[in-house]
Amino acid sequence: MKPFKLGFITDEYSQDLDEVVRFALEVGAEHLEIRSIWGKNVKDLTDEDLRVIRRVASQNGLQIYCLASPLFKEPIDTYEAHMSMLDRLCDIAQMLDAKYIRCFAFVGPTGLYEKMRAEIADKLRAAAEVADESGLKLVLENEPICIVTTGRQQGDLIRIIGHKALLATWDPGNAYVSGVEKPYPDDYMYVKGLVGHMHVKDAIREDGRPRIVKVGAGDIDYSGQFKALYDDGYRGTISLETHYKHPTGDRMEATRESFLALKDIVRKALGLKE
């Protein structure tokens, strides 16, 4: 049994489903995380689109565990519109046999978390109730342009909400871009035990500014992170969110290099055989 289920956000590689599936089989990915496909955001996919995706994924032994949705990735005054979006996302997740819907904690300037924590908690608790009624879970991502940017805030909010249908999409790369010098071990400690899903990207700082690089070539201690996740009992999904710009400009090659590096880091961190 593999320790984690490794996959990637599909549109980081291609908008073409056939190309995505060929790549997944080539590199040994186990799941696909859909943010957009055929130029359509996941929230806008039709029922016929979903039937095609489900059939093609199933025929090739691939699963879709998480929708990389834009839920609550706008200012808080769009909340009601996003709750309507959530209804459709729940239908989409069920049609694809997905378990998780990625969400955010609203777009806003840095420093609003303490002031808005109670209001955000109330709104996300209500959203978690909706997901729970459909047998799904929301996985809240820490995101630099949103009000919750770090593991510290992410863990605090999830614990305040205290709902079984709300867990974390832990993204060490986003924490680093948000200014956390050591996403692991420092920031991870706040989401330990709350991780339902994970995104992976790597980064360095140049002249004080973050720059995304190939996984394993940056400042984030992913070897330590993966070992800690395993030791803490996590056996869930991890998605590469490439973001890395390959020197040739080839986004497919950027994803290939980073995915293979991700697999190698996991293998070495856990002492697995090749």
- Where in the chain are the domains? 5-270
DSSP 8-state class, residue 185 = I
Please tell me the CATH superfamily of domain 5-270, with its number: Divalent-metal-dependent TIM barrel enzymes (3.20.20.150)
| pLDDT at position 125 | 98
| pLDDT at position 274 | 77
| pLDDT at position 26 | 98
Contact 160, 123 (CB under 8 A): no
Torsion of CA 10, 14, 15, 17, to 10 degrees: -70
The pair of structure tokens assigned to 103 is 């969400």
For tokens 């005054």, the residue is: 77
Neighbours of 235 (CB within 10 A): 11
| pLDDT at position 137 | 98
Q: Tell me the one-letter amino acid at 114.
A: E
| pLDDT at position 273 | 86
Which of 150, 206, 141 is closest to 175 using CA atoms?
150
Contact 155, 194 (CB under 8 A): yes
Q: How far apart are CA 71 and CA 140, in angstroms?
A: 10
Which of 96, 175, 182, 110 is closest to 141 using CA atoms?
175
Which of 6, 74, 8, 27 is closest to 244 using CA atoms?
8
Q: Calculate what percentage of the chain has a pLDDT beyond 70.
A: 100
Contacts of 4 (CB under 8 A, 6+ apart): 226, 229, 230, 234, 235, 236, 237, 238, 266
| pLDDT at position 1 | 61
pTM reported for the whole predicted model: 0.97
| pLDDT at position 67 | 98
- The segments of the chain whose pLDDT lies below 50 read none
Which of 217, 215, 226, 225 is closest to 259 using CA atoms?
215
Q: How far apart are CA 265 and CA 271, in angstroms?
A: 10
Q: How far apart are CA 150 and CA 173, in angstroms?
A: 10
